[in-house]
């Protein structure tokens, strides 16, 4: 009797081992994702007035993202400004949101090209998600004089030059907004607006309120 019980026990263990092996063999094998990839994107370029296709190198985690080439960072900020104030350093091409404890969070930005920079203080008068873009008449006329035709309106979305979010500044035509050209961050390329990568403008958008002071230097 005991001999049969031992034999049955060994057979049971053998069957269990075989089942575990079969389960292991049936599991998918996960490979390490590649460190980079490329993606073709279609974007409207307001500088040329044309839709362009561009192949960009991106990391796998950014396939559904619009990340700045300049990584945001918390940095020392000694100026006596209220927490929440936004400071735009045009020359350095950086934007600071004051945290109020001697620090600020710093973002990379794109600024106005030569002849389109400005200085002053405004307050956020409106916030918009995935805003549509209506080029102002003076921009349409200016581009037409250079042989470029701008659309009268571009619907909000990934192809829109204003990107994922927009913060309107007072009664001016200027905005802090996202972009469909994240590689332009850190450059002077706009018509006076302050552009941020979509990842960054979404974060800033969620932290500021209508009435927030914006100082552009």
Q: How far apart are alpha carbons 82 and 172 in whole angstroms? A: 23
Distance, C-alpha 82 to centroid of its chain: 26
| Distances in whole angstroms, Cα of residue 78 to Cα of each of 91, 103, 175 | 19, 7, 26
CB 194 within 8 A of CB 174: yes
Those residues whose C-beta lies under 8 Å from the C-beta of residue 86, and which sit 6 or more positions away, are 95, 96, 97, 98, 176, 204, 208, 212, 213, 214, 215
Q: Which residues are catalytic?
A: 177, 193
């Amino acid at each position: 009797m005991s001999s049969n019980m031992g034999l049955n026990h060994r057979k049971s263990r053998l069957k269990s081992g075989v089942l575990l092996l079969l389960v292991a063999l049936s599991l998918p094998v996960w490979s390490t994702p590649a460190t980079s990839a490329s993606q073709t994107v279609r974007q409207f370029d307001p500088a040329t007035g044309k839709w362009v296709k561009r192949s960009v190198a991106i990391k796998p985690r950014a396939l559904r993202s619009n990340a700045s080439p300049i990584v945001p960072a918390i940095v020392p900020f000694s100026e006596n400004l209220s927490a929440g104030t936004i400071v735009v350093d045009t020359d350095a091409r950086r934007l600071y949101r004051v945290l109020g404890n001697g620090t600020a969070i710093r973002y990379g930005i794109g600024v106005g090209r030569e002849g389109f920079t400005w200085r002053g203080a405004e307050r956020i008068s409106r916030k918009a998600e995935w805003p549509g873009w209506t080029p102002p008449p003076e921009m349409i006329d200016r581009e037409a004089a250079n042989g470029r035709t701008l659309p009268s309106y571009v619907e909000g979305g990934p192809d829109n030059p204003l990107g994922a979010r927009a913060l309107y500044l007072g009664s001016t035509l200027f905005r802090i907004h996202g972009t469909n050209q994240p590689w332009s961050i850190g450059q002077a390329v706009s018509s006076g607006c302050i552009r941020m990568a979509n990842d960054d403008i979404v974060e800033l958008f969620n932290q500021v309120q209508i009435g927030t002071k914006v100082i552009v230097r």
